[in-house]
């Protein structure tokens, strides 16, 4: 008899686990081959560009800035698999270094954007009233400036190191997330479980963190994945204009910007940085779409 009870309990535990948020998401994504592929490519790029440079430095004893005038504009060969640039630097190694900066900026800036966006959106949506009015005004003002113009001012003022760029990009891209979260919370806070928590005397902070936040995590996650892709585009655009990360620190954007003057010597200088940007952004967008399919309850059939 007692064995019987144990078995049923075990089953319930398993069932609950099956229904948990993350489990469901992982299951859904594992079934979606395109999303899985995007995730793998992103993972590969991230690992390669975060650990690649260390390996290059310590194992191969090659420095990223190793220039050699004799080896300029070499086409791809077995020695330099993606060729060399105008100073004879190996393009593959520079792409790894550039990827580290570009991806690091995208990851940190979207993390910052998500933190600010979720906090502002939660505060505005939950408290309403004057707080909501002020925050909504800030959001609508900021979002009625095409953000590239704001970025241009900001990067003109603070000569951008990667850290500064993360701050600027993060502070300028939380708006969309805040708006989504606010909208979601406006409908959430009228729901019974929130009313129940309020009736039980939970503090506002507790309700926001334990009851409301888990319900907005999914839309924030989708938004932040898409925005990471956009941030890669924006960062490379800024670097291309010469207003982003300054050379000699390589990023995919300023490598493209350099290549503008030298493409007649070697087309590989234009092709590869652009391909890396496109592939990475594409993967972020596909992942975002996949997450939306996995998480948005409206899509669940």
Q: Is 264 in the site for other proteins (CB under 8 A)?
A: yes
| Neighbouring residues of 209: CB distance < 8 A, sequence distance ≥ 6 | none
Q: Hey, is 96 helix, strand or coil?
A: helix
To the nearest whole angstrom, how small is the minimum distance from the Cβ of residue 230 to other proteins? 9
Rounded to whole angstroms, the Cα distance separating 279 from 46 reads 13
Q: Is 149 in the site for other proteins (CB under 8 A)?
A: yes
Q: Is 281 in the site for other proteins (CB under 8 A)?
A: yes
User: 242: how many CB neighbours lie within 10 A of its CB?
Assistant: 12
Q: Is 260 in the site for other proteins (CB under 8 A)?
A: yes
Nearer to other proteins, 166 or 207 (CB): 166
Q: Hey, is 301 helix, strand or coil?
A: coil
Q: Look up residue 26 and give its two tokens.
A: 């992982």
Nearer to other proteins, 128 or 237 (CB): 237
Q: Is 183 in the site for other proteins (CB under 8 A)?
A: no
Q: Token pair 């003002």 is at which residue?
A: 141
List, as own/partner pairs, every contact residues 131-137 make where C-beta atoms lie below 8 angstroms and the sequence separation is at least 24, other chains included.
132/182, 135/178, 135/182, 136/182
Q: Is 134 in the site for other proteins (CB under 8 A)?
A: no
To the nearest whole angstrom, how small is the minimum distance from the Cβ of residue 146 to other proteins? 4
User: 248: how many CB neighbours lie within 10 A of its CB?
Assistant: 11
Q: Look up residue 200 and give its two tokens.
A: 């039980």
Single residue of 120, 154, 212, 294 touching other proteins by CB under 8 A? 154
Q: Is 168 in the site for other proteins (CB under 8 A)?
A: no
Single residue of 42, 95, 240, 254 touching other proteins by CB under 8 A? 240
Chain positions contacting other proteins, by CB under 8 A:
137-138, 140-142, 144-150, 152-154, 156-158, 229, 233, 236-237, 240-243, 256, 259-260, 263-264, 267, 270-271, 273-274, 277-278, 281-282, 285-286, 289
């Amino acid at each position: 008899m007692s064995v019987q009870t144990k078995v049923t309990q075990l089953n319930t535990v398993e069932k609950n686990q099956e229904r948990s948020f993350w489990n469901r998401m992982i299951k859904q994504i594992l079934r979606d081959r395109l999303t899985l592929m995007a995730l793998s490519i992103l993972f590969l790029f991230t690992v390669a560009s975060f650990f690649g440079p260390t390996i290059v430095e310590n194992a191969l004893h090659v420095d990223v800035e190793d220039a050699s005038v004799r080896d300029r504009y070499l086409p791809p060969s077995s020695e330099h698999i993606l060729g060399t640039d105008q100073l004879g630097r190996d393009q593959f190694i520079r792409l790894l270094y550039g990827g580290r900066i570009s991806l690091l900026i995208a990851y940190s800036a979207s993390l910052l954007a998500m933190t600010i966006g979720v906090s502002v959106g939660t505060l505005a949506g939950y408290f309403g009233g004057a707080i909501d009015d002020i925050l909504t005004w800030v959001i609508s003002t900021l979002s009625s400036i095409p953000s590239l113009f704001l970025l241009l001012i900001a990067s003109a003022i603070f000569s951008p190191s990667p850290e500064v760029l993360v701050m600027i990009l993060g502070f300028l891209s939380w708006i969309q997330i805040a708006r989504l979260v606010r909208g979601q919370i406006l409908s959430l806070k009228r729901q019974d479980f929130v009313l129940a928590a309020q009736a039980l005397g939970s503090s506002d902070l507790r309700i926001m963190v334990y009851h409301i936040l888990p319900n907005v995590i999914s839309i924030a996650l989708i938004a932040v994945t898409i925005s990471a892709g956009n941030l890669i585009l924006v960062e490379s655009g800024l670097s291309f204009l010469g207003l982003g990360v300054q050379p000699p620190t390589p990023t995919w954007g300023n490598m493209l910007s350099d290549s503008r003057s030298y493409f007649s010597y070697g087309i590989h200088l234009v092709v590869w940085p652009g391909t890396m940007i496109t592939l990475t952004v594409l993967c972020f967008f596909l992942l975002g779409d996949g997450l939306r399919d996995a998480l948005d309850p409206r899509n669940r059939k």
